[in-house]
Chain A
Amino acid sequence: MSSHKPTVAVHKFSSCDGCQLSILNMEDELLDLASAIDIAYFLEATRAEKPGPYDIAIVEGSITTPHEMERIKEIRSESKTLVALGTCATAGGIQALRNFANADDLASIVYAHPDYLHFLKTATPISEHVSVDLELWGCPVNKAQVIEVIVALLNHRKPNIPPYSVCMECKQRGTICVLVDKGIPCLGPATQAGCGAICPANGRGCYGCFGPYREGNPKSLSTTLQNIERYPGETARLFRGISGYAPSFRKTADAISANVKEAK
């Protein structure tokens, strides 16, 4: 790194603010972090704004409006490294459930005059609009992983993000498998690690908020889960949740729906 402190900009798109809050939630590290980088734009934290270009842009949220489509292109053009932070930015997030419905119908449920709204029919990840240098999943992201990403970028190395599934984290913390032992539907075998396997540790199944595990086999898992459903359609709903627009989860849920239709 040259003499100047790297400039970092934090941008919000359609989201709950929880992932950028994970930065403010670094209570033990925030002041050290703020001395190592130059926070040039971070609206949730400061009124001060410095113009681009920026060394690092951290982007939270998914693209859901025409204006956001334009804004992400501007941000890309003024940023050396662009990090997509959280499941909205990497897979569309919870609001991508609109992608499986008619967005106009949803709007008319909530708003009296949907014609006043400017929104896209789909909520899509940042990578569908611009090139993304690094993706960090999670709803919300794990703040230790956020720190690891920032430290890695400052030191020009690859971040060390665990490449395994939630199952491995259950093993690490000694949680007995809720799927095998209790017959609770769990997406853990098909979901990326990073959360610390907190759902099984609390006696419930994983609902996939860290997105698909690259080597996972969601199709095979869905067959297992369909045999132990606690209510009709549980497996399809599990896959069609917070990470539902991620390609492998999307295909799995689509296949289940297609089979159900065929069976009828």
Chain B
Amino acid sequence: MTTIEVPALARVEGEGGLFIKLENGRAVEIRLDIYEPPRFFEGFLRGRFLQEVPDITARICGICPVAYQMSSAFALENALGIKISPRVRALRRLMYCGEHIESHALHIYMLQAPDLLGKQSALELAAVAPDIVKNALRLKKIGNEILKVIGGRSVHPVNVCVGGFYSWPDTASLKALLPDLEWGLNAAIDSVKWAVTLPYPDLEIDYEFVALHHPEEYAVVEGEVWSSKGNKVSIADYETRYIEEHVKHSNALHGRTADGNTYLVGPLARLNLNHEQLLPAAQKALKDSGIKLPLKNPYKSLIARAIELVQFYEEAIELVKAYQPDGPAHVELKLKAGEGAGATEAPRGLLYHRYEIDENGLVQFAKITPPTAQNLPRIEADLFALAPKIVKMPEAEATLTAEHLVRAYDPCISCATHFLKLKVEEK
């Protein structure tokens, strides 16, 4: 009998630990301990004015604040029956490109790659491969620059509002990003070439992939919720199929489908479901990589992220070139009581929000389903699937392989903790 225990997972967003108990070559107990303290966002959102919501929900996560702002804004716009203009929509997509770029570059190079290259951190990697890390930092910085030009700063940007943006960003400052974006597109293409050469552990899982789908674009801000099992529901009907279940043994709320299955959201799901909507350079990067879809190895979500990095650089270039501020940057709000849902693709996967507001625009109810809460049951199930392999490994290697699996998901524990119970070991 062996026990693998990682009291504090490194290179993940938020605080979590991992406990695996192995007996006769199989896992008898697996716990992803979430000790990230709860912060009760859905509680204190009640009574706040709707225009405060994007600024408040941004604080759920420092790595993907834009995702929270976007899902909130779309949900509240739906509650008010507002339609944003095509120019505002394009700017939201551009802003989201910035967040996907910074988050993916961070995860690929600084959070996951050290595991594949036998290093403790990107800083350690920099000592032996400085160019990789310097390019990674530049790739990441350009994403942050997009956010800074549009939103004033990269963490908790200030320009998103219900109805659009407070103001149009300066055209010259956006266009000035083009040379860096062109560099980034090439560096992202190189990232895919590099990513396919890395030594991923073998593990194939028969996932149900779930992501937004849009017929005309690689879905990020709007679309239908598609599942690889063929199910399609509108965002408004999301809760009819995707539910949070209170799992008795774990004291955690876990995302499940209405028929009781676990499912996977995030870059692997998006790539597998939406690869036909990738832009040409991303299509080519996928084709040249030799990767066969569906990609089912969770460790290889790094490759999916790299292909998306190409996609988001390519899309950012397109949107910056087309950028032409005209007309109002936001719709004036006419308050009325209502209810609205919104979902967008955060870097880590589908992020769903629903709000009820009263006639004064005050929030009466808020529900937020972050990607990591949906993936949590999958991470645990994957660890069970991994157990027979790692039981034969020396302890340090087994621990690292299990830890690496969790990190490959890019779990955002601060986000998920609004829903996850602190787990208590059952005696």
Contacts and interface: CB of A to CB of B under 8 A. Distances in A.
B122 interface: yes
Interface string A92-127: 011101100101011101111100111100010000
Contacts of A139: 59, 156
B421 A231 contact: no
Given A46-B123, A101-B44, A202-B159, A28 B141 contact: yes
B166 A204 contact: yes
A22 B14 CA distance: 15
Interface residues of chain A: helix, strand, loop or mixed (majority): loop
A46 B38 contact: no
A110 B419 contact: yes
Given A111-B38, A117-B38, A202-B166, A31 B61 contact: no
B110 to A, nearest CB: 7
A6 to B, nearest CB: 16
B160 to A, nearest CB: 10
B60 interface: yes
Interface string B157-185: 01101000111000000000000000000
Given A43-B10, A103-B40, A109 B46 contact: yes
A200 to B, nearest CB: 10
Given A110-B43, A198-B158, A17 B38 contact: no
A68 B120 CA distance: 26
B65 to A, nearest CB: 7
A13 B361 CA distance: 33
A188 interface: no
A212 interface: no
A207 B59 CA distance: 14
A111 B251 CA distance: 10
B398 to A, nearest CB: 15
Nearest to B8: A43
Contact of B158 (A18, A67, A202): A202
Interface string B198-232: 00000000000000000000000000000000000
A127 to B, nearest CB: 19
B152 A39 contact: no
A231 B418 CA distance: 29
Given A17-B62, A39-B123, A109-B40, A232 B360 contact: yes
Contacts of A94: 39, 41, 56, 59
Interface string B41-81: 11110101100100110011111010000000000000000
A58 to B, nearest CB: 15
A209 to B, nearest CB: 7
Interface string B400-417: 000100000000001000
Contact of B43 (A15, A45, A47, A101): A101
Interface stretch (A74-82, A213-221, A234-242): A234-242
Nearest to A106: B43
A195 interface: yes
Contacts of A248: none
Contact of A234 (B8, B39, B49, B166): B49
B395 interface: no
B123 A44 contact: no
A177 interface: no
A14 interface: yes
12 contacts: A14-B36, A34-B123, A39-B123, A45-B10, A46-B10, A107-B40, A109-B42, A113-B421, A118-B422, A140-B156, A195-B153, A204-B167
Query: 7 shortest A-B CB distances, which residue pairs?
Result: A18-B62, A106-B43, A198-B152, A46-B121, A27-B141, A48-B120, A203-B167
